[in-house]
Amino acid sequence: MRKRSAVRNGETMEPPEGPEPGPDTEPGAVAGGATEEAEASAATETSEEAEAAEAWQLPSLSTGSWVVVSLAVAAVAVGVVFHLAMVFLHVAPSNTASNEYRSTVDSYIYPEFEQNWKLFAPDPLQQNIHVQARAQVRGPDGGLRTTGWVDLTAIDLTGIQHTLAPSHTRQNELRRAWSFYTSSHGDNNTPNGVRGQLSQEYVQRIVESRFGPTLDGGDVVRVQARSATTSVPPPAWSDTKPTTGTQYQETLWWSVATSGQENAS
């Protein structure tokens, strides 16, 4: 078939190219087929968009479930704010709020959340302090046996070596617990008030958890801790004389059965 041309303003305009209908093609079949394909493609895209939107929708929960979730989120938020407030009042310079609520802040912070900024002091620590412990074990025959000293600090250091994300507990638990103990005790392991008793209980709990209730086939009945302190050698350019030797500081024996009571051996 020959295509018809239109003449407008002296110019001949050809009709748009398209598939020519065959002898058996119904009029309008070609245009109708293209329309159906476009509608099918649009319907597919709409269906995919609807599925994607449904995938991002929040799961449908009952009213009671939403109430529980909301209360849990609110409780966590309140706990975080309270913790940050207590830590801030503890480390902040003395002020009206910290002085008024000192007892509340101290009871929350000590001993697990105690803060220490000695790293930034002009005279940082120049000693290596290892906390060691031993236990008295009652065997099946009723006899008591005393174990050797176990270097708990060395065990913690071994656990964090070559570790990209070392445990905060392994790094600081023993060090801070022992520092808390020594700063709140006088001569002959005499506690200075309530904090002294609290620090002793804290160290004792740590030692007991490291040994466990049974050891070498017997029951742990008493534990004892001590520190082994060695000085860090001064640099070559310093005039400070190096201190040699190791200094030890031992606690009394603590009965496991009556946790928190100091019993002299």
Q: Does residue 103 sit in the same domain as residue 132?
A: no
204, pLDDT greater than 80: yes
Q: Does residue 227 sit in the same domain as residue 200?
A: yes
Q: Does residue 237 sit in the same domain as residue 126?
A: yes
Q: How far apart are the first and last CA of the chain?
A: 119
Each residue's pLDDT tens digit, 189-203: 888 888 888 899 999
Q: Per residue in 37-48, is it b (16+ CB within 10 Å) or e — as a string?
A: eeeeeeeeeeee
Assign 95 a pLDDT band (cuts: 50, 70, 90): confident
**What was the pLDDT predicted at 64?**
82
pTM reported for the whole predicted model = 0.55
55 residue type, one letter: A
Last residue of a domain, one of 107, 132, 161: 107
Distance CA 262, CA 199 (A): 12
Tokens linked to 7: 């003449």
For 143, the domain range is 115-263
Each residue's pLDDT tens digit, 210-252: 999 998 889 999 999 999 999 888 777 777 777 778 899 999 9
CB-based contact 174:168 (threshold 8 Å): no
